[in-house]
Amino acid sequence: MRISTNQFHSQGINSIQKHQANVLETQLQLSTGKRVNAASDDPVATAQIHSLNRTMNTIDQYAKNGEYGKSQLVLEETAINDSVTQLQRARELSIQMLNGTYSATDRQAAAAELEQIIQQTKNMMNYRNAEGEMIFAGSSVFAEQAFVEDVNNPGYYAYIGSTNAIGQFESDGVTPVYDELASYGSRFVQIGFDADNRATADDQGDSSRIRITDNGDKVFGITTTTAFTGTPDSNVLNVLVELKNALEAGLEPPAGVVTDLATGIDNLSEVRAEIGGRQNRIEAQYDAGESFKIALEVRRMGLEDMDIVEGVTDLTKSQNALQMAQQVFTRVQSMSLFDYLR
């Protein structure tokens, strides 16, 4: 078979270029520490790497959601703690005022303190987060208030999801405060993966989601034994109002007030414990996510990262091959008829 000088030359150039490309590729892998720097390096591994990165990014977002959820639950816990403190003080006053040694003037003085307790408790029941969203208004987080003055039972307060709120309007004088949605649902944040990516319809939510707002009627509503004037909502705020009204008149606290306040404190304590459970769920989900992320990171490193020892070995082999190709090319260049004739 006849081999031309041009063929010798082309084969030599191609061999040198091939080995130069191998050296450059290995140097790039060693400099970046990655075996796969482009999709063409390993198409199958590239697809798996992208999938793993998406999953790890999703886990990071769930962790951020959990941090946000914890901050909201801390606000809710703060509001409940303050409410419990106010109710405990009101209960102490009611027990004191049951003592026959206190005069009507003493009870009226206690009523003045109760008015402050009522205002502070109402503020906590209408607590907002940093975004201006109501914490105790169920799904109606953008309402002006969760508990409003009861126009149907003057002097008392009604939850905006209660029919007693019908007839009351917001500050614009047009928008009704009554919102049936306030009695259903809550705000949730997703903190983990789930099977169908849907939240359940009830107020308990989903194991992959955490509730960050609550239905105020469930938090502050109780089964009262206090006899109200009219038919106001049965909540701790109206119990305080009934107690204040009696003390302002110089009368002893109404029957059932002490018991109802204790019931309210117990109910808020249960809600506070439940909030603690939600915070623990966030921590547990975060730990599980981080453990899962470590396993994914190990898998990604196995696909993408460069073995330094193997890389240095491959670089040395490629450099030796390049040198040999260059030497062979130099020798072949001198194998022409003109060199022979000389």
Q: How far apart are CA 159 and CA 228, in angstroms?
A: 16
Mean per-residue pLDDT over the chain, rounded: 83
Crossing angle (nearest 10°) for helices 104-125 and 236-248? 160
**How many Cβ atoms are within 10 Å of 22's Cβ, its own excluded?**
17
- Any long-range contacts for 123-126 (C-beta under 8 Å, 24+ apart)? 124/79, 124/80, 124/82, 124/83, 124/86, 125/79, 125/83, 125/216, 125/220, 125/237
**How many Cβ atoms are within 10 Å of 244's Cβ, its own excluded?**
22
What is the reported pLDDT for 245? 94
Rounded percentage of the chain residues whose pLDDT exceeds 90? 48
Contact at 8 Å (CB) between 156 and 240?
no
pLDDT at 7 over 80: no
What is the reported pLDDT for 192? 87
Q: How far apart are CA 328 and CA 228, in angstroms?
A: 106
Q: How far apart are CA 298 and CA 303, in angstroms?
A: 9
What is the reported pLDDT for 56? 92
Confidence of residue 173 (pLDDT cuts 50, 70, 90): confident
What is the reported pLDDT for 203? 46
Over residues 274-301, the pLDDT tens digits come to 999 999 999 999 999 999 999 998 887 7
pTM of the model: 0.76
Across the range 73-95, mean pLDDT stands at 95
Q: Which domains does the chain have, with CATH numbers?
A: 50-298 (1.20.1330.10)
pLDDT at 112 over 60: yes
